[in-house]
Amino acid sequence: MADPVQVSDATFETEVIKADTPVLVDFWADWCPPCKMLAPIVDDLAGEYGPRVKVAKLDVDANPTIAGQFGVMSIPTLILFKGGEAVQRVVGYQPKAALKAKLDSLV
């Protein structure tokens, strides 16, 4: 089972933009209750999609540059990157089935 990768402003380009596979990035913060509700779903997705989709987490408080670069104004925000481009954005808590449907349509 794969675990989400922790990414930062410093590692974002290598881990996400230059990744060989699609990358789902969870923009979150420790003080955000919906982020905490979404965390186990994101962990499950990392395990289920394994080598097909890399799942990453970015703490917006510790890494404001990347969050600002992608216009993340509300959290949780999930952005799917494919070939270095942001191709799908989901803002706010979503049930697992809805997230899987979006992922399945893109990977």
Which is catalytic among the residues 7, 24, 32, 41?
32
- Interatomic CA distance for residues 66 and 60, integer angstroms: 8
Residue 32 falls in the annotated catalytic set: yes
Which is catalytic among the residues 23, 35, 67, 90?
35
Backbone angles phi, psi at 9, to 5 degrees: -55, -40
Residue 13 falls in the annotated catalytic set: no
* CA dihedral angle for residue 57, residue 60, residue 82, residue 23, rounded to 10 degrees: 0
Q: Angle between the 33-49 and 96-106 helix axes, to the nearest 10 degrees?
A: 50
Pairing of β 77-82 and β 23-28: antiparallel
Q: Which residues are catalytic?
A: 32, 35
